[in-house]
Amino acid sequence: MKKTALCLLIAWFSLTGAAWAGSTIKIPVAAAFTGQLASFGEGIKNAAILKGEEINAAGGINGKKVKIVLEDELCDPKEAATVATKLANDPKVSIVIGHLCSSASLAALPIYRDAKLPAISPASTNVNIGKMSPFYFRNVYKDDFQGLFLARYAKLARGFDKVAVFYEVNDYSMGLMTAFQKEAKKLGIKVLGTEAYTSDTTDFKPQLTKFKMMNPHAIFIPGYAPQGTLIMSQARALGMKNVAFFGADGLDDDLMLKNPDAEGLFVTTPFLPDKAGPHAAGFIAAYKKKYGKEPNWFAANAYDGVGLAAQAIAAVGEDRVKIRDYLASLNSKEKAYKGVAGNTYFDENGDCLKEAFVKEIRNGKWVSAEKQLQ
């Protein structure tokens, strides 16, 4: 029992201690900075910190300095919930940037709702997040839009009409697949077959062999990069030389560049350095200067998210509900927040409509595809 008492004491202090912080404006960023999806989180982290510094350099918000706090939730729903509670009960926090994965968002969302704490997700694309809470916003498009866009692009720009879908068993991937299939049926793309894999699969040959016999024009991989690159290598090894591959923003990762078999892959992305607006140039330059590489779309959205939060706080102060109302009031092109990744304005669900771009790998580099769909 003494041990218990001791441990409780330690726990107590570490927990209560966690809440006390300096008298600055805290903008917590909750995402996965370690674990399987760390490479996505990295972009978010970098951009958020960058934006924070820029704001402080410009004299902060109403004279107050901004402090970017990183909260790691490993894309694990349970972690996300704990982190969310921690933030929700921190009086210093008036808005959250996060979360990354849709499952994490779904777990954190009720807590923010109950605490009346607004949150802006830079990356959760799951369809039914928006309508579940008035306090949850996102400056990224939804899966259904992305899937629809991909189907159109595949048909109209590339002229594929026999496609196989190789999806991962997770919310993101399956959301994309359903949206894609729906649109594909409309456009008359024939989906020859759909096969599944899990995140810890390394042997994709059985499924690929099946696809091979269907000889499709292209294989749609609505998954993440780590598996995507394996799939492509193994497909080539099976002798599927003239099959095209395409995916969604999940494959938008420099990991793909290491793989010679990934040549010709094209993916959707909400942000393209060379397609981005004029005020993006500064961001791209600064980002390159600080981290020595091109910002990906996660970075861009996080950058905009922090910017948006700062703007809101500057406008209405640190009251959570006021901030929420302010964000909700940005509901048309005119009022939109002009970010580096296009204009951000919200519909009644707190979702936003953004245009998607397509980029492809040409001799080992990400370049924007010459055929875009506008």
Partner 1 sequence: MMDLKKMQKNPRFFFLGLVFLALLLPWLPMGGSTNYVIRVLTTAVLYMVLALGLNIVPGFTGLLDLGYVGFYGIGAYTSGLLAIHYNMGLWLILPLAALNGALWGILLGAPTLRLTGDYFAIVTFGFSELVVLVIRNELWLTRGPMGLPGIPPPTLFGHPLTRDWEFFYLILFILLIVLAVVTRLQDSRVGRAWFAIREDEIAAQCCGVNLIRYKVTAFAISASIGAMAGAFYAKWFKFIHPDMFKFWESILILCLIVFGGMGSIAGTMLGALILIPLSEVLRAVLPQSLFSARYLIYGLVLVLMMRWRPEGLIPFERAQARKAWQAKERLGS
Partner 2 sequence: MDSLLDQSSLFLQQLVNGITLGGVYALIAVGYTMVYGVIQLINFAHGEIYMLGAFLAYTMVTFLGLPFFAAFILTILICSCFGIILDVIAYRPLRNAPRLAALITAIGMSIFLQNLALMIWGSQIKSYPREILPSIFYQTAWGLGEVTLSWLQVFILAITVVSMAILHLIIHRTRIGTAMRAVSLDKTTSALMGIKVNRVISFTFAIGSAMGGMAGILVGLYYNAIFPTMGYIAGIKAFAAAVLGGIGSVPGAMLGGGVLGIAEVIGAGYVSSEYRDGISYAVMIAVILFKPSGLIGRQIGEKA
From candidates 25, 72, 295, 356, binder to partner 1 by CB under 8 A: 72
Least Å from the CB of residue 3 to partner 2: 20
Closest approach of Cβ 31 to partner 2, in Å? 15
Q: Which stretch binds partner 1 (CB under 8 A): 31-39, 148-156, 268-276, 304-312?
A: 31-39
Least separation in angstroms between CB 142 and partner 2: 25
Please list, in sequence order, all residues whose beta carbon lies within 8 angstroms of the beta carbon of residue 264, skipping any fewer than 6 positions away: 244, 245, 360, 361, 362
Give every CB contact of residue 128 below 8 A, 6+ residues apart in sequence.
none
Sequence-ordered list of residues with C-beta below 8 angstroms from that of 225, at least 6 positions apart, any chain: 39, 250, 251, 252, 253, 255, 256
Residue 62 interacts with partner 1 (CB under 8 A)? no
Partner whose binding site includes residue 210, from partner 2, partner 1, none (CB under 5 to 8 Å by kind): partner 2
Whole-angstrom Cα Rg for the chain: 21
Q: Which helix (H) or strand (E) holds 359?
A: strand 357-362
Compute the least distance from the CB of residue 249 to partner 2, in Å. 19
Amino acid code (one letter) for 292 = G
Helix (H) or strand (E) holding 182: helix 171-187
My answer on whether omega of the bond before 217 falls inside 30° of 0, hence cis, is: no
Cβ neighbours, 10 Å, residue 67: 17
Q: Closest approach of Cβ 72 to partner 1, in Å?
A: 5
Give the contacts of 212 (CB within 8 A, at least 6 positions apart).
235, 238, 239, 240
Considering only 27, 33, 149, 356, the residue that binds partner 1 (CB under 8 A) is 33
Candidates 59, 62, 89, 371: give the one binding partner 1 (CB under 8 A): 89
Partner touching 212 among partner 1, partner 2, none, CB below 5 to 8 Å by kind: partner 2
Query: Token pair of 334, please?
Result: 């005119």
Site string for partner 1, 118-147 (x = CB under 8 A): --------x-x---x---------------
107 sits near partner 1 (criterion: CB under 8 A): yes
Site residues (vs partner 2, CB under 8 A): 34-36, 38-39, 169, 195-198, 200-203, 205-207, 209-210, 212-214, 226, 229-230, 233-234, 237-239, 258, 260
One-letter amino acid for residue 301 of the chain? N
Beta strands in the chain (DSSP E): 25-31, 66-72, 96-98, 119-121, 136-138, 162-168, 190-197, 218-221, 244-247, 266-269, 337-339, 342-344, 357-362, 365-368
Q: What are the residues facing 64 on neighbouring strands?
A: 61
Candidates 37, 46, 52, 103; binder of partner 1 (CB under 8 A) is: 103
Among 44, 61, 69, 88, binds partner 1 (CB under 8 A): 88
Q: Are 71 and 87 in contact (CB under 8 A)?
A: yes
The answer to whether residue 42 forms part of the interface with partner 1 (CB under 8 A) is: no
Name which of 75 and 356 has its Cβ closer to partner 2.
75
CB 192 within 8 A of CB 162: yes
Is the Cβ of residue 13 or residue 279 nearer to partner 1 in the bound state? 13
Q: What is the DSSP string of 97-115?
A: EE-SSHHHHHHHHHHHHHH
Picked from partner 2, partner 1, none, the partner binding residue 241 (CB below 5 to 8 A depending on kind) is none
Exactly one of 144, 171, 304, 318 binds partner 1 (CB under 8 A); which one? 171
How many Å apart are CA 116 and CA 91, to the nearest integer?
12
Q: For binding to partner 1 (CB under 8 A), which residues are involved? A: 1-4, 7-8, 10-12, 14-20, 33-35, 70, 72, 74, 76-78, 81-82, 85-86, 88-91, 103, 106-107, 109-110, 114, 126, 128, 132, 169-171, 174-175, 196
